[in-house]
Structure 1
Amino acid sequence: MRETSRTRRSRGAAAVLTAALLLATGGALAGCDSSSDARGNGAPAKRRPSPRPTPVWDRSPDSIAAVGDSITRGFDACVVFSDCPEVSWATGTDTKVRSLALRLIGEPTAVAERSWNYARSGADVGDLPEQMALAAAKRPELVTVMVGANDACRDSAEKMTSVDEFRASFKASMGQLRRTAPKAQVYVSSVPDLMQLWSTGRGNPLGRQIWKLGICASMLGNSDDVSPKAQQRRTMVHQRVVAYNGVLRDVCAKDLRCRYDGGAVFEYRFSGEQLSRWDWFHPSRNGQERLAEIAYRNVTAAQPPRA
């Protein structure tokens, strides 16, 4: 049968369409093969997990509330057996110490208006939820925490706060803050190394006499006794402090607006010049200044310190 021009045109169009389909299909298959070959096993490429959200951290907060114990109250830094909050590492107005608040906020008058110190000498972690409630009511941009020394400083090592109790109280404190001030940042200081303080202070005759009055007896009691039993007692206290710091680190890590100091205060080696000349245990003005430096460095760092 004779082929008409219309038939030829129809057949040519069909051929072009078929060729186009084959090219498209081949390209798609080649794309799949290329991806499989790149992995070397023919398996489809896996998606990379999404990065964790970056914590929200303001490196220049403009108001500060402090909670904790006698160290944050400046105890024995100015007058014997008395608080001296003006030299507090956290909220003090002393221009020589240059507290964290002074370094962040500026002039002493501004610090007095925009900082609050709710720490209490003798406080332990069980007192922290109440202090946090007072701090949260001020809606500060930053809350500083230094607590735990009094939980380890007992009449005997057996009476120290248990690690479970410590964790429960600290978690409750963070919960108390978050209910009222959900966006407040928290800077958590590690507990100082009490054994290092004993090692430094025991060389001073006056310090040894003062310690006999009962200051941190679990660590400082019978300070000249280096028998195995005494050393075992001090080791128990030391290990409990290490455990407390682990709790502070772990609980803080679960809050995007909390920053632990990475153990910086625990690792700091206080010298005699940095201890109170009245009790050779609490930080002096010089010691408070060192604590302020550590806090400022960690609060203003681009990244949190490694724990």
Structure 2
Amino acid sequence: MRNRSHRSRAVLAVAAAALLGVAGCDATGGNSPAPQGTTAKVRPSPKATPAWDRSPKSVAAVGDSITRGFDACTVLSDCPEASWATGSDTEVNSLAVRLLGTAGAAERSWNYAVTGARMADLPGQMARAATEKPELVAVMAGANDACRSSVSAMTSVAEFQADFEDALGTLRDALPKTQVYVSSVPDLKRLWSEGRSNPVGKQVWKLGICPSMLGDADSLDAAATLRRDTVQDRVEAYNKVLEEVCAKDKYCRFDGGAVFDYRFGTDQLSHWDWFHPSKTGQAWLAETAYRMVTAKKPVA
């Protein structure tokens, strides 16, 4: 009996020790101190969120006529050398030149923007840009979605969002970690306000430049005011989409509305059409993009 009692106590002790061991590991998530005389296993820390690379080694650009430098050098013509994103013109000092130097920009920057492009065209541009495997893609698109023949012809906010998400998805399918800088859509109503004081500019606008905003430039009646306000509201909605969609992508930075908020004057506008940026305007866009890309933290 004494032997059986001794064995029973021994079995109970082993069982209790085993139970305590299980409770000390699983029930507390493995954080209980290890028994004396043993070595605790240290779990690896979770990986930190990837840091934004403030000095990418290659740049591709997508977007519309602004990124093509339209009317920055000669009338009614693209001037990619004056592009804020990838141009070589020393007056502009483009984003690519600031990041890569003159020689580096010539070798490792690409401009796939197309004059007249809308957000629906961005997925195709992204696909072409991805073939170069850039470390940064600079995006400026959306002005042509609002600059239509009429208010009713503007791209809907839902379509705009779907197209932008499609564009980012196209890039992510090919290049999951490539960084993206997204510019806000410019303030089109300020373009009207600044340019309407110039008789030549108003004559050029009659050729069909952004009729939804710039048409009948001298009219201040209720209908014209409502039309311009509707276009402005749509631009603001586009910018909200750009901000919100970009925020969901850890490798994307929005400019925080810097381009939309910029209080530009006529010196920053092309004196051929009083709509597109001049070289001075392109230089400001380049400076702003560089500041955003190289900032330690994104703009809140």
Task: Tell me the TM-score normalized by structure 1.
Answer: 0.82
Task: Output the amino acid matched with 1:185.
Answer: Q
**TM-superposition CA deviations, 1:273-293 (whole Å, max 9, x none):** 110000000000000000001
CA distance in 2, matches of 1:53, 1:287: 38
Q: Which residue of 2 aligns with 1:74?
A: 69
SS in 1 for 2:186: coil
1:132-160: CA deviations, max 9, x gaps? 00011111000000000000000001100
Aligned-pair distance for 1:110?
Answer: 2.1
Q: Pick from 58, 65, 71: which aligns with 1:63? A: 58
Listed as ranges, the gaps of 5+ residues in structure 2 are 1-44
- Of all paired residues, the percent bearing the same amino acid is 66
| Kept after mapping to 2: 8 A contact 1:56/1:256 | no
Q: Specify the structure having the higher radius of gyration (Cα).
A: 1
> Aligned AA for 2:212?
S
Which of 279, 287, 295 is the equivalent residue of 1:285? 279
Q: Which residue of 1 aligns with 2:89?
A: 94
TM-score (norm 2): 0.84
In 2, the alpha carbon distance for the partners of 1:136 and 1:244 equals 24
Residue of structure 1 aligned with 2:161, choices 152, 167, 173: 167
1:303 match: secondary structure? coil
Aligned with 1:145: secondary structure? strand
The two structures, once aligned, show a CA RMSD in angstroms of 1.4
Residue 154 of structure 1 aligns with which residue? 148
Provide Cα deviations, 1:166-197, integer angstroms capped at 9, x if missing partner. 00000000000001111100000000000011
Q: How much does 1:91 deviate?
A: 0.3
Query: Equivalents in 2 of 1:296, 1:155: separation in Å?
Result: 34
In the alignment, does 2:285 pair up with 1:261? no
- Residue of 94, 97, 104 corresponding to 2:99: 104
> Residues of 2 paired with 1:115 and 1:100: CA distance?
10
The verdict on how the C-alpha distance between 1:55 and 1:252 changes in structure 2, with shifts beyond 3 A counting, is: farther
Alpha-carbon distance in structure 1 between the residues aligned to 2:158 and 2:46 = 32
Answer yes or no: is 1:296 the counterpart of 2:284: no
CA–CA distance in structure 2, aligned partners of residues 209 and 203 of structure 1:
11
Q: Which runs of 4+ in 1 moved over 2 A?
A: 50-56
- Find the aligned partners of 1:92 and 1:176 in 2 and give their Cα distance: 25
The answer to whether the aligner puts 1:217 opposite 2:211 as a matched pair is yes
Say if 2:296 is the partner of 1:305: no
Secondary structure in structure 1 of the residue aligned to 2:197: coil
Q: Distance in 2 between matches of 1:219 and 1:51?
A: 51
> Which residue identity lines up with residue 71 of structure 2 in the other structure?
D
